[in-house]
Amino acid sequence: MSEPAAAVVFGEALVDAFGSVLLPGGAPFNVACHLAALGLPPLMITRLGDDEAGRLLRDTAARFGLSLQAAQLDKRSARVEVREREGGHVFEIPAGQAFDRIEAAAAVQAATAATTPDWLYFGTLALREPASRAALAALRASRQQRAFVDLNWRQAGPSPQVILEMLQGIEVLKLSDAELDLVLGWLQLPSIPDVPAAGEQRAAMARLCARVGARHVLVSHGAGGAAAWDAHGCCVARAPAAPVPRMIDTVGAGDAFSALMLAGLLRQRPLATVLADAVAFASLSCGWRGALPADAALYRPWRTRLGLAAPAVTTTPPA
């Protein structure tokens, strides 16, 4: 019998193509890999092909102990072209990707066959087309679940109107500084410029929660750490980030943050502890290349903090 899933993760698994070099990615895929390696394997609802990119995603998932059994089969895996430009990377996300075609019936069937995880993670990119949007809506309608949403806004994603609709009734909304400004702008609320102190109260945060229906908003401030706000607009926790001894890149830092947040919430740990761990793990992730670490032994101390048994997965870094 398979282990009960700890959460449902819905959305894109894709490859980032740096020329001919393919790297696994997609925020939900990264979060699902982290959760599995932490000993909280989720049910991953996604769609991918039986091609080179699909094999890379399946191999990567296996290294982290993530099952892709519920992944739907498409004719082609999703692929994002990454171009190096002065001052950073430009991501081209073409239309008509596998994650745009997640089917509702198969998604609900997979979730129904699993045990009853009460958390659901999703982002917004995979919600740009009606098919995948309908799949998520069907999943949410099929059972009571608390939704953890990482906005992870992308130009190629859905319109603000669609996003705001999909945020209705969620439990936790994770935003970066820039995304907070964006969402406040959509809602015509005043911006919140500086890093808050715990205990601080902001009417705009309360109105944001009221408008999207979230019980908590998490705002990550890059090197400034992160803060958690409740629905009354009160900053209930704040965690500064420790300096990164050897900065490699910040790719996937938000995904590392969300994974540890979700893991801590699944384990019902106190919010301030969960936030501090999420910030610390995300900052640690800036010390490895890309979103996922090469060595899963790195999760050991985090599993211990979460009160989970020693890792079942043993991975070796690729040669």
Ligand X SMILES: Nc1ncnc2c1ncn2[C@@H]1O[C@H](COP(=O)(O)OP(=O)(O)O)[C@@H](O)[C@H]1O
Binding site for ligand X (CB under 6 A): 176, 220-223, 225-226, 241, 244, 250, 253-254, 257, 279, 282-283, 286
Phi, psi of 45, deg, nearest 5: -105, 110
- Decide if residue 254 touches Mg ion (CB under 5 A): yes
126: partner contacted, choices ligand X, Mg ion, none (Cβ within 5-8 A by kind): none
Q: How far is the CB of 99 from Mg ion (least distance, A)?
A: 17
Please calculate the CA angle 27-229-242 and round it to the nearest 5 degrees. Answer: 65
Helix (H) or strand (E) holding 100: none
- Decide if residue 25 touches Mg ion (CB under 5 A): no
In terms of Cβ atoms closer than 10 Å to its own Cβ (0-12, 13-18, 19+), residue 61 is buried
- Token pair for residue 233? 């607009």
Q: Which residue number, 77 or 176, has a Cβ lying nearer to ligand X?
A: 176
- Decide if residue 152 touches Mg ion (CB under 5 A): yes
Q: How far is the CB of 17 from ligand X (least distance, A)?
A: 21
Q: How many residues bind Mg ion (CB under 5 A)?
A: 2
Q: Which residue is nearest to Mg ion (CB)?
A: 254
Q: Which residue number, 80 or 110, has a Cβ lying nearer to ligand X?
A: 80
The CA distance from 27 to 35, in Å, is 12
Q: Which residue is nearest to ligand X (CB)?
A: 254
The CA distance from 187 to 170, in Å, is 17
Q: Which residue number, 5 or 33, has a Cβ lying nearer to Mg ion?
A: 33
Which residues lie below 8 Å from residue 166, measured CB to CB, with a gap of 6+?
122, 124, 127, 133, 136, 149, 158
Q: Which residue number, 74 or 255, has a Cβ lying nearer to ligand X?
A: 255
Q: Which residue number, 58 or 148, has a Cβ lying nearer to ligand X?
A: 148
Helix (H) or strand (E) holding 110: helix 104-113
Residues engaged in binding Mg ion (CB under 5 A): 152, 254
